[in-house]
Amino acid sequence: MKNIKYLYLILLFTINLITTNLIAQVEISKNLEDIAVVDEKIMVAMSDGTRLCTNVYRPKTDKPVPIIFSRTPYNFNSWGDGEEKKRTKQRAYEAVKRGYAYVVQNERGRYFSEGKWDILGLPKSDGYDAFTWMADQTWSNGKIGTLGCSSTAEWQMAIAALDHPAHAAMAPQGYGAGVGKVGRFHEQGNWYRGGATQMLFISWLYSVQNDEFRPRVPKGATQEDLNRISRFYDLASEAPKVDWAEMFGHLPVSELLKNVNGTKGIYDQMIKRKPNDKIWYEGGLYHEEMDFGVPSFWFVSWFDVSSGPNIELFNHIRNNARYKDVADDQYLIIAPTLHCRFTRATEHTMVGDLDVGDARLNYEEQIYDWFDYQLKGEKNNFKEKTPRVQFYTMGSNKWQSADVWPPANTEMTTFNLSSQGRANSLYGDGKLIIDKVDTKDMADEFVYNPLNPVPSYGGNVCCTGNAVQGGSFDQQGMETRHDILVYSTEPLTEGVEVSGFIETTLYVSSDAKDTDFTIKLIDVHPDGSAYNLDETIQRVRYREGYDKEVFMENGKVYKVEMSPMSTSNYFKKGHQIRVEISSSNFPRFDRNLNTGGENYNEKEAVIARNKVHHSAEYPSAVRLPVVKK
């Protein structure tokens, strides 16, 4: 009887939730239709004849209006009550009521759009052709701004390099997978970090990549037919749920999607690409050798997978754009949130288990002020009232501003690794010291077994299903492992703000041909709780660059420069600054099987005995951007 009552309550809750969603959907649609001309399933032809499905929502006026454009691989089609459809209608309503047309378009090969989809290889011409079509419409004033987060932002950078005359402004958010090589980062659209594969794309592609046998609408279908059938079909697949926490452990990595009966698609080719494969340079990724022609308002999150390269791109454009006015028209916000969670900040913003305080900000108001200034030509003093960089400092839990990043009043301060050769675990003797280290080489050794890797616990991640929860968590339990080296300062006698890029140089050796080294930056509270701030990895075979692989010799010491971490954190008086060093952070990053082989197609692993050296000869160190008082 109790079970029946329980099931009845669940049924009532489910019905209520569905009803609430349907009512909300109807209300959003009605509000939009009251103020907008709605024209859905327009098939816009690209220069090669491929047609992309496009929805237009524009004010009921005879006057030409500016356009906010969103191009996406996600499903906005008018069937059911999907979240993306509701978000699309809500965004359209917000834009139209402010005097903008809102245009949303599915990428090539997605849903009702024709052609073949490639996550990072879409033709740049598609964006250019779409701009030309929009600019030519009678209801357009010829000014277009692009807006979106994650996959809805990632195409914008490469298109900005084409400098279409109508592309007047951008507001990309969480856009890292659109960044190829830029500055010190060689990520190729977040596929890599330090030459190691970021596993997030495996679970992400499982749910979104097109299967080669998927159903398609016949070529040449009319707008009328598409609107009619979209009442019944949206061409969206529903992937069965996968326990990624377990399934990520399958080897070889190349067969992960096959092992879960996943879709057949682009993953099979991408997992084989090396960091410097020429294919990365042929598609829709932005690389630093490209020009950049569009004023941009960038949005980054401290706990996103791509915060470092995203900030590096902002600096690169400010320093390298051909036109001074474009370089001067770059603005940046860095929020203490997870991937694409900007507007979810509250009075007590939680990132994982860490309360970073009241991180709310008037994001929408600033975005529309930006578009009003750039697309409407309004004299709203945007440039005078908007700081060049707005960033949130955790620990002190406050918004700050700066003219450059890192802030001009930072000073790189070297913290040397030190121990008596027993830095293993929280209970070891590892220290971070500003003083010079002993001239004697005191190496810390640990065993890295790829079949028993250090598990990812929190971190700067997205899209990994149930395998990794992003954010900051107490790492004390993790730090009891013998394969984690722990180095900490003494409790601070006064507070220290660290804002900028964190640089790390390690001197390492191994009895394996190839291995990885990982590092985390930690804020240790007086009660011993240790909260992660950022993390990175380096595959040692790429220590001399990503255009070649250089393997290790047993016992020989090698200098390894890690890709930078980034944060803004105030380490309070009594806290400690800590770094953890190991050789795995799984499944945030794939495991190096230590064989020196291809890794992605291997099942067998080699156990490695790895060392981190620190001495006058081998000065392993972390350099922190400390804000001067």
What mean pLDDT comes out for the span 414-429? Answer: 97
Distance CA 60, CA 478 (A): 59
Query: Residue 118: its pLDDT value, please?
Result: 87
For every residue of 145-187, DSSP letters joined together read EEEEEGGGTTTHHHHHTT--TTEEEEEEES-GGGB-EETTEE-
**CATH level 3 topology of 410-627:** Jelly Rolls (2.60.120)
Contact partners, residue 227, CB within 8 Å, separation at least 6? 40, 41, 78
Asked whether the predicted pLDDT for residue 5 surpasses 80, the reply is no
- Res. 21 pLDDT band, cuts 50 70 90: very low
Distances in Å between the alpha carbon of 274 and those of 36, 138, 154?
48, 46, 21
Helix (H, G, I), strand (E, B) or coil at 307: helix
pLDDT per position as a tens digit, 162-182: 999 999 999 999 999 999 999
Q: Which amino acid is at 566?
A: S
544 token code pair: 């001399």
pLDDT per position as a tens digit, 180-212: 999 999 999 999 999 999 999 999 999 888 887
Helix (H, G, I), strand (E, B) or coil at 4: helix
316 token code pair: 């690169």
For every residue of 408-454, DSSP letters joined together read TTEEEEEEEEE-SS--BSTTS--EEESSPPPSS---EEEEE-TTSPP
pLDDT per position as a tens digit, 24-47: 456 777 889 999 999 999 999 999
Query: Residue 393: its pLDDT value, please?
Result: 98
Distance CA 431, CA 317 (A): 38
- Tokens 């006015």 correspond to what residue? 325
CB atoms within 10 A of CB 255: 15
Cis peptide before 455 (omega within 30 of 0): no
Distance CA 569, CA 400 (A): 12
| Long-range contacts of 238-241, Cβ-Cβ distance < 8 Å, separation of 24 or more | 239/206, 239/207, 239/263
Distance CA 24, CA 495 (A): 48
Asked whether the predicted pLDDT for residue 9 surpasses 80, the reply is no
What mean pLDDT comes out for the span 78-103? Answer: 84
The pairing of strands 330-338 and 192-193 is unpaired
pTM of the model as a whole: 0.94
- Location of each CATH 2.60.120.260 domain in the chain: 410-627
Closest by CA to 523, choosing from 476, 563, 454, 468, is 476
Residue 151 CA to its chain's centroid (Å): 9
299 token code pair: 């949005």
pLDDT per position as a tens digit, 496-526: 999 999 999 999 999 999 999 999 999 999 9
Asked whether the predicted pLDDT for residue 277 surpasses 50, the reply is yes
- Res. 13 pLDDT band, cuts 50 70 90: low
Query: Residue 212: its pLDDT value, please?
Result: 78
- Location of each CATH 3.40.50.1820 domain in the chain: 2-189+285-402
Closest by CA to 604, choosing from 450, 424, 403, is 450
Query: Residue 4: its pLDDT value, please?
Result: 63
Closest by CA to 592, choosing from 461, 482, 451, 464, is 451
Query: Residue 11: its pLDDT value, please?
Result: 57
Query: Residue 236: its pLDDT value, please?
Result: 85
Least confident of 11-25, 236-250, 354-368: 11-25
The pairing of strands 389-393 and 330-338 is parallel
Check residue 339 and give left, alpha or beta (phi > 0: left; psi -120 to 50: alpha): beta
Distance CA 89, CA 30 (A): 10
What mean pLDDT comes out for the span 221-231? Answer: 90
Query: Residue 617: its pLDDT value, please?
Result: 93
Asked whether the predicted pLDDT for residue 255 surpasses 50, the reply is yes
Q: Provide the percentage of residues in the chain whose pLDDT is more than 70.
A: 95
- Res. 442 pLDDT band, cuts 50 70 90: confident
Closest by CA to 239, choosing from 221, 272, 265, is 265
Asked whether the predicted pLDDT for residue 23 surpasses 90, the reply is no
Distance CA 517, CA 535 (A): 11
Distance CA 420, CA 438 (A): 10
pLDDT per position as a tens digit, 446-493: 999 999 999 999 999 999 999 999 999 999 999 999 999 999 999 999
- Res. 217 pLDDT band, cuts 50 70 90: confident
Averaged confidence pLDDT in the chain: 93
Q: Which amino acid is at 143?
A: K
- Find out if CATH 1.20.210.10 is the number for domain 2-189+285-402: no
Residue 324: enclosing H or E segment and its boundaries? helix 324-328
Residue 54: enclosing H or E segment and its boundaries? strand 51-59
Exposure string (b/e) for 395-434, b if CB count within 10 Å is 16 or more?
A: bbbebbebeebbbeebeeeebbbbbebebbbbebebbbbe
Asked whether the predicted pLDDT for residue 254 surpasses 60, the reply is yes
Asked whether the predicted pLDDT for residue 585 surpasses 50, the reply is yes
Closest by CA to 203, choosing from 463, 587, 455, 470, is 463
Query: Residue 401: its pLDDT value, please?
Result: 98
Distance CA 8, CA 15 (A): 11
Distance CA 595, CA 253 (A): 15
